Structure 1
Amino acid sequence: MFNYYTKFQLFSFFYFALIISLIILYDSLIANISSKSIVFQININSLQPLKPPLANRPLFSTKEETNNEVYLKEEEEDYAHLVPPYNLSQEERISWFKKNLPYFEILKSTNISRKFNGRMNEFFTSHYCSVQFFMTWISPTKSFGKREFFTLESLFKAHPKGCLIILSHTLDSPSGTMIFKPLVELGYRILLVTPDLYFLFENTPSKSWFIDLKNGKKDPGKIPLAQNLSNLIRLAVLYKYGGVYIDTDFIILKDFSRLRNSIGAQSVDRNGNWTRLNNAVLIFDKSHPLVYKFMEEFALSFDGNRWGYNGPYLVSRVVEKVKDYNFSVLPPRAFYPMNWVRIKGFFNAKNDSRWIEAKVLELNEKTYGIHLWNRQSKSMKIEQGSIIDRLISTHCVVCNDI
């Protein structure tokens, strides 16, 4: 009786162990299949930059995921300090800026930022670039969303051998690398790099302005300083390296490689003479004297309290004064075929279908890129059949809802 009971116990134990082993093996097989599906989905679904791939893709260990979440939270908290309180006097704003200066990471010289020029030169040496594109991103990592990502897709659709350098101390991070990994895996040339403002502004008129700002001798203004820094950084990087600067709210339609030393008109009068230029797209050779004049004007007339004064209005002021600087002013249809006041019409499918069809054909023929005026359009829904919807389906690498 004792031997029989012992044998029964042993048989039950081994039978139970076998069942557990089969369950574990089954779960392992399912996990492998699922992980392969997720990787395939990421390659196909590259318009989902941060959240869907980040939520499903095991790029980090649990500890790394925790560190990443902490990093994003700290980054967001730091950015809360970058906008001055409303209704401060100039003296109070300067005092506020001095107090919050430690939170302005982009103004600091660090081990990472000091490698900027070396990383840039190594990137250009290692890659053939049909066009050198530059962007700036002085915002938290997680605010780089689907529309910004689509700009990159349309850029590489039109320039498969182009290079894109994004100057950003936030995207130059593990979190930023995850966002762009789908495009890098497709073979596109992208460099996320922390800018060295000391190097960029050295031997330019921007240096004195930057030093005064750091020493608390300049009023940063009530407009977020990041916006005005972007206006200046784009000029400095073009002056030092040459290429194309473009904002992150564009749909790129055509190859830029034949454009040289050009700036786009935002509006013209009845005679076709420009009335306002814009700095959302700038195309200039290295060390171009007009870009130097732009930086000079920035340093001399900086006003952080007036929207656009150090950007679109600045380039308009300078170009209005200069002559014989070897550059072209392109008509609005090149980059600004729809003014920001009327951009909603490009998102709306209720317009006459024949007009939409004719407009899409015209844009594909005559327009290099469409500025989406994200400040006005970011909350607009892209209606199916609208101009933007039609262009997205044609000019994306992997089409998806944005």
Structure 2
Amino acid sequence: MSSFSRVTKFKRFFVASVFLVSIYAFASHGVYKAERPINRMLRSSTPFQEVQDHTPKTNTEEYTMRSPLSRNSKGSVSCSHESKSGDSTLLRLNNFFRNETEWKAEGAFNIFLIETSCDSKPNYRFWCSVESMAQQNPKGIVWYVMTSPVVDLSDGLVKQLLQKYKNLRLVTVDLDDVFEGTPLEELYRSGAWHSNATKWPAANLSNMMRKAMVWHAGGFYSDLDVICISPVTELRNVIGLAEFNLVNGANFHFDRHHPMLEKFMVYLNEHFNPTVWGMNGPRTVSAVLRSVCKENVLHQGLQCDGTKILPHAAFSPIQPHLNPMFFQKTAIKDMHERFPGSYVIHVWNRISRVLPVIKDYGTIYDEASKRFCPLSRELATKKSKIY
């Protein structure tokens, strides 16, 4: 056997091993039963009964804040960035809550994507999510809410996106404003979500912020590891299945001050666990829905308390364990034909971030990027065909 053949086989074996390890890590199950780490102060007007958690537990790789967080004696947390005065490569962002007239306007449809790692330069796949939302929802206002007070302009992408998509808004927030007066204020000020006990403070903050932001303004929330392929502006008070008996909070719409959002926040405040991946996200919303809807098994079409559960095809057309399919060649390049009835395709970043995308190789992800986030894809592949 030639040395070239041996090297080729080794490369293939290595890639296959990465796929299998990633899938195993995602599918591994555990058991959870924990005590509340902070005092319980807030109560829902409709107290929850004890809810048995039927959802699988997963292990995952660690997620940490990329930039330092500072915390004062009152429990307020903020991102710190060192930047020189007059630095033209950084754009200082406006505070979302100063745009109240716009997001509270009659008939406004708000769409939220949230960055919680204090990163002033999000990666191109995140920008792809933002761009696809702006492209597919011209009737909506797309708010990219960053915990970083500044965004990096050095590669030119931000300027291009803002020029092309007039419905796109890049903003920052004061976390005190986000959580003040909500059932999550106690949890936020406790610091439990970014203490030494947790491996993923950015994910914890995301699970908290998405509920509070939609509570304040009403609208559609989306994670940053999706590509939007159809308008979501027709949706009202919905959340989607991810897999059997598990609802995912990666995409949802609720009206401002919706009672279900309040229940999600109260439950999270009372049952927050810093040590178990997924407990503060999918398992929180799933446990609440089982309790409120009085159903042991969650299913598509289930409606209660003004909330409807959509089929997994709506937001998760490919299940997590089949994630590598996004990075393989596809014979069907039309995403609407490939994923009928889907609003977004969810690529499960905690697995897919280790999988490369090759420009013009014909994979699902690249074909979707070509159509729904062309500016982000173009810049991502400017110096390399792999992104």
Is 1:303 paired with 2:273? yes
Q: Of 356, 362, 369, which aligns to 1:381? A: 356
More strand by percentage? 2
Distance 1:312-1:143 versus aligned 2 partners, 3 A rule: farther
Deviation string 1:322-366 (CA, Å, 9 cap, x unpaired) is 1331111111111111122211012112x6x3xx46976131x31
CA distance in 1, matches of 2:250, 2:193: 29
Q: Which has the higher helix share?
A: 1
- Out of 241, 245, 259, the residue aligned to residue 235 of structure 2 is 259
Deviation at 1:123, TM superposition (A): 3.9
Q: Is the 8 A contact 1:131 1:256 kept in 2?
A: no
- 1:190 maps to 168
Alignment map for 1:42-61 (pairs within 5 Å)? none
Match of 1:47 in 2: none
* Counterpart in the other structure of 1:241: 217
User: For residues 319 and 328 of structure 2, what CA distance do their matches in structure 1 show?
Assistant: 15
CA contact (8 A) 2:249 2:282 kept: yes
* Cα-to-partner distance string for 1:234-293 (whole Å, 9 max, x where unaligned): 10011110001111111101111111101110012xxxxxx1111111210000000000
| Alpha carbons 2:67, 2:118 under 8 Å: kept | no
Residue 207 of structure 2 corresponds to: 231
State whether structure 2 residue 345 is matched by structure 1 residue 370.
yes
Q: State the 1:100 CA deviation.
A: 11
Question: Residues of 2 paired with 1:361 and 1:217: CA distance?
Answer: 41
Give secondary structure in 2 for the equivalent of 1:370: strand
- Equivalent residue for 2:112? 134
The one-letter code matched in structure 1 to 2:348 is W
Match of 1:315 among 280, 285, 292: 285
Tell whether 2:324 aligns with 1:348.
no
Structure 2's unaligned 5+ residue stretches are 1-63, 81-91, 294-303, 382-386
Three-state SS of the structure 2 residue aligned to 1:105 is strand
**Residue 288 in structure 1 maps to residue 288 in structure 2:** no
For 2:142, what is the secondary structure of its paired residue? strand
Match in the other structure for 1:7: none
CA distance in 1, matches of 2:196, 2:319: 29
**Corresponding residue for residue 124 of structure 2:** 146
Instruction: Quickly say closer, same or farther: Cα 1:295–1:181, change in 2 above 3 A.
Output: same
Contact 2:194 2:201 in 1 (8 A): no
Provide structure 1 residue ranges, at least 5 long, that are not aligned to the other structure. Answer: 1-76, 83-96, 108-112, 269-274
Task: Compare CA radii of gyration and give the structure with the larger one.
Answer: 1
Amino acid at match of 1:150: C
Q: Which amino acid aligns with 1:139?
A: S
* 1:129/1:162 contact within 8 Å kept: no
Instruction: In structure 2, give the amino acid aligned to 1:373.
Output: W
CA distance in 1, matches of 2:129, 2:102: 21
- Give, in angstroms, the shift of residue 135 of structure 1: 1.5
**Number of equivalenced pairs:** 291
Q: SS state of the match for residue 152, structure 2?
A: helix
Q: CA deviation at 1:186?
A: 1.5
CA distance in 2, matches of 1:310, 1:370: 22
- Root-mean-square deviation over aligned CA pairs: 3.4
Secondary structure, counterpart of 2:274 in structure 1: coil
- Report the TM-score, using the length of structure 2 for normalisation: 0.66
Cα deviation code 1:88-113 (max 9, x no counterpart): xxxxxxxxx98999995249xxxxx9
How far the C-alpha of 1:309 sits from its partner, in A, is 0.7
1:201 offset after TM fit, Å? 2.1
Distance 1:137 1:278 in 2: 18
Residue 393 of structure 1: aligned partner: 370
The offset of 1:219, in angstroms, is: 5.3
How far, CA to CA, are the matches of 1:252 and 1:315 in structure 2?
A: 22
Contact 1:240–1:286 (CA under 8 A) maintained in structure 2: yes
Secondary structure of 1:334's partner? Answer: helix
Contact 1:81 1:100 in 2 (8 A): no
